[in-house]
Amino acid sequence: MIVFFHMLRLLFFLPLAFNGQACRSILILICVFYGFENSFSLKTLNAQESQAQLDLQRQKKGIYIAPLWLQGQQQFTAGKDNEISSKIAGQAGIRMGGDFWADDQRGLYLKAQMGLNTEIKVPNANSFQSHQHKIAFGGRYRIHFGEHAKASALLFSIGLNALLQRYEGQKQLLFVDQDIFGPEAQIAYEWTLSSSFWLRIGGGIGLPFLVREKQADSGELVNFIAYQASLETIYQISTKMALQLQVDFYQQSLAFNGVGSRIPGAKGALINDQYLMGAFGVRYLY
């Protein structure tokens, strides 16, 4: 603007010393060119900012961390006379992860949660400590229903899931440490309600085919299935920060054949676990 002001001054005073009409014409051309260039630069900057905002809303990239609260039920059955059940009233922990997108369609996800020791209560038995860790990662593919920023979308995911369970302080061996691994597939619906608020709701299925048990074993694994449902909401509070709420439900069923060392002489062990997790924290948008 300062340059433009000085050019206007020259437009009126320079002709007093030189050919007035020629100088005035030259300066008019210079001012027109300068104004066009400045306008073009401003439009380019606005276009870049608009494209960045569009990418942010459509891709929804971000990393997050949040405290979590877990509750659940674990059930072990072997034969008609051997049944053990326990409840996790409330396990605290930390959840972290991220959504990483190369473009609107292709991306990766990572989820990890670390649980703290919590008391496990078993009917007619002593209480003991337990904690649970979980990690999941994989690829995603998104299909948008439109080209605008608020277009809804379907997400398809496939990846690997690992669940680690630990038990401490048992006077009688009721539950054994487990490392459970397997692939998972998910589908989710992504709904953008406004420029600062969106949610994702979905479900999935997993095949926890690899089970490692310590201290004792439940037999030979012959059947396995896992189900999950999830709800995720994001509310953007600034350019780079948002609040995030996550609620996950997870259920796994494992069937074993033969006689395991966990309960001597018991055959056909079954494990059925259910977990409900909630986490509320912050998300960094990039």
Residues 12-70 have pLDDT tens digits of 444 444 455 554 554 454 444 444 444 433 344 344 446 666 677 788 999 999 999 99
- Do 28 and 84 share a domain, yes or no? no
Is 55 a domain residue? no
Q: CA–CA separation, 278 vs 92, rounded Å?
A: 10
Is 117 a domain residue? yes
**Pairing between β-strand 197-206 and β-strand 128-144 as defined by DSSP bridges:** unpaired
Is 99 a domain residue? yes
- Do 75 and 11 share a domain, yes or no? no
- Do 65 and 42 share a domain, yes or no? no
- Do 22 and 126 share a domain, yes or no? no
Could you tell me the sign of the dihedral formed by the alpha carbons of 4, 9, 12, 16, in that order? negative
The helix/strand/coil state of 3 is helix
Q: How crowded is residue 285: how many other Cβ atoms within 10 Å of its Cβ?
A: 18
Q: CA–CA separation, 111 vs 161, rounded Å?
A: 9
- Do 68 and 30 share a domain, yes or no? no
Write down the pLDDT at residue 260: 83
- Do 24 and 123 share a domain, yes or no? no
Is 54 a domain residue? no
- Do 261 and 186 share a domain, yes or no? yes
Structural domains of the chain, count = 2
Q: CA–CA separation, 97 vs 229, rounded Å?
A: 17
Of 27-41, 135-149, 261-275, the range with the highest mean pLDDT is 135-149
In sequence order, the β-bridge partners of residue 180 are: 163, 211
pLDDT band at 78 (very low <50, low <70, confident <90, very high): confident
Write down the pLDDT at residue 236: 95
Amino acid identity of 62? G
Q: CA–CA separation, 276 vs 249, rounded Å?
A: 5
Using one digit for the tens of pLDDT, what is the confidence trace for 196-228? 999 999 999 999 999 999 888 898 999 999 999
- Do 119 and 152 share a domain, yes or no? yes
| Between residues 63 and 122, the one the model is more confident about | 63
CATH number of the domain within which 174 lies:
2.40.128.100
Considering the chain, what is the average pLDDT of its residues? Answer: 84
Is 28 a domain residue? yes
In sequence order, the β-bridge partners of residue 128 are: 120
Write down the pLDDT at residue 82: 82
Q: Look at 7-16, 111-120, 137-146, 182-191 and tell me which has the smallest mean pLDDT.
A: 7-16
Domain that holds residue 37: 2-49
Residue 253 clears pLDDT 90, i.e. is over it: yes
- Do 119 and 203 share a domain, yes or no? yes
Residue length of the chain? 286
How far is C-alpha 264 from the chain's CA centre? 42
Write down the pLDDT at residue 101: 95
| pTM, rounded to two decimals | 0.78
